[in-house]
A and B are shown apart, each in its own frame.
Chain A
Amino acid sequence: MIRVQRDIFDIGKEIEALTSGRTDIGAVVSFTGLVRDFNDGNDVTGLSLEHYPGMTERELAKIEEEAGSRWNLQASLIIHRYGEMALGEPIVLVITASPHRHDAFEAAHFLMDWLKTKAPFWKQEMTADGDTSWVKERESDVKAAKRWTTNA
């Protein structure tokens, strides 16, 4: 399942919804990305996320499908927010469920790494002096995503 939304989400409720009524799931892994107050040495006061409606959903669905083909997943969920976000708020949530922990851990890691370099979202940071700037791509993110290609 994928969801692209402006609203904040509740991590506990999402995990509960994904696993409720199921007794076949042995492991659930979740990753949450938060808005932090620093980036590349600058103080950040807020974040705005732009995305490409339509393509975002397609890319996220493809990424989730790829994870499902590589690991034994019983359920998965990707939620990604867009719009204005305050410090400390969640931006993205990935949940994976599998019979054993290995698949859930690996798949969650993969989903985040691929999402970072493929899903069409762009962050804009606000700083205390009122400036806004578009966040630059990180080489470490590109490397992290490539790891899953060479291991495939």
Chain B
Amino acid sequence: MRKYLHINLGDRSTSAQELHGEQIVRAGRYFIAKTLLERGVAAVDPLGPENPLIFSAGPFAGTNFSNANRLSVGCKSPLTGGIKEANAGGTFGFALGQSELAGFTLHGASTGWTLIRITREGHVTFEDAQPYLGRGNEECARMLFDKYGKKISYALCGPVGERLGLIAGIAFADTDGRPSRLAARGGVGAVMGAKRIKAIVVDQHKMPPFHDRKKVMGAVREYGAKLGMEQAIDNFKRFGTATVGDFTNYIGGLPVRNFRVGQLTADRDAFKLGGTHIRERNLGRGGQTAHACMPGCMIECSNVYVDAQGKELVSPLEYETLGLMGSNCGLDDPDDVARLNGVANDMGVDTIEVGATLGVLMEAGLGAFGDADYMLAALEDIRRGNERGRLLAQGAARVGKHIGVARVPVIKRQAISAYDPRVIEVTGISMMLTAQGADHTAGNLPAYGCKDKTTAELVAVSLGAQVAAAAADSLGLCVFGRSVTDTNPELIVGALNDAHGTSLDPSFLKTLGREVLELEWAFNRAAGFTEADDELPTFFYEEPLQPTGKIARHGSEAVNRSLRELLGRTNEPSK
């Protein structure tokens, strides 16, 4: 059994729901989509009190099942206007599981700024958050550990979220206590700020009870052993997610200078923003690779990146930031990106959205590509919340419209991740079709060979990836484990059955994933989205991307037609 808490911020009442069996399993992105759709949230003001903010842990939360302690945050997105599930690593999901909590929903809004304390017994108290307001996340984290001890985890609304900035995420503690694991995308931090919840503190305790713990531990060991045999996992461990940059730069799909070109340098050895160079530089200075963001994770894709004096600049330094705040803004040195990333983390903002926004400013000639000082100054404005800062905090789409820039890399008003859709076509199609907006994690296959493949073929591949990602996101599983997760459904579903006494079939994973997509698409339809909203910005279809010379081949009409055929719907909307 697990408890699920409903916390009513208006009158500060709490009710607890008991979840059993499959109710515990159908968590994360599934739970969010089903709940928000059924509650009619598609029609609400996303910054209003009627928008629930859901924190959902997966069915293995609280264990050391590798990469199975992800935390899903869900709401209607104030950035996109559609459904949002923002996913984070760290220890918050782990702590919820150890407290035998499946999660909780924040309903309504508080009248004053509040810190919510949830003990492992499930007791909820509300404390004055005034001492934390306006401070950076690192300082707040220190204050929380000083006050509540080390055996906690926390969720933080940073200073930008306090002011309802749409680039604001929610920061969670990593395994070292840093506020560095963000549910970053879609303005979930603004929703937390609109509810005037500054922080949520939960207890770590011990592994929770399961239906058959011995068998669950058997699955933990087996899954871990399988991960150890995967070369892809070993690459993540050694080089971090930055290893993706070596690849995307090589194939010409890296965003450079507001998606103007797809390659920073043709000389692979000269490319400094990739995993190979970063590992060597970081280790040479005494930094750390093979760092787990959540307890028990054997992928360990995180790192602790240090400067030339060995002082920590940021943890982690990851591909998406190296792309959007790095090459996309004309930077070519990881030290510059790391410095900016550290500042962004302390502010609690989405580095993809920030990078795209700054790229748009540079596109407009308001700053020079490659000017890290300009970027730092812009971040400082955002942190201070002056007039310019409050504008920039609205994200790339709104800033681009305000200053009259045509080349704004967004889908559904959310910034495109570091995969140029002209070259990395399956990911591009996933970002078009997903109800989440331009979210690469919805179905990311950067290495898939797209040459001479038709729209229909690529949409089919994207759909398979989307279903798998949706299932993982509903089970608290990090998608980086997919080379094992996706190929061992019997192991995963067997472990779920052992954990919660269910009798699910291995086909459950695909069924679950498909259900999630349908629910999310239904939500967005209810929110007023049409197939026209799936379109890429026009410049992708018109501007050949050097060095490949490719343009986007797949428009929304063709992509959705293919999707309709795959879903067996010929006369209805595909989504």
Is chain B found bound to chain A in the same assembly?
no
Residues of A within 8 A of B (CB): none
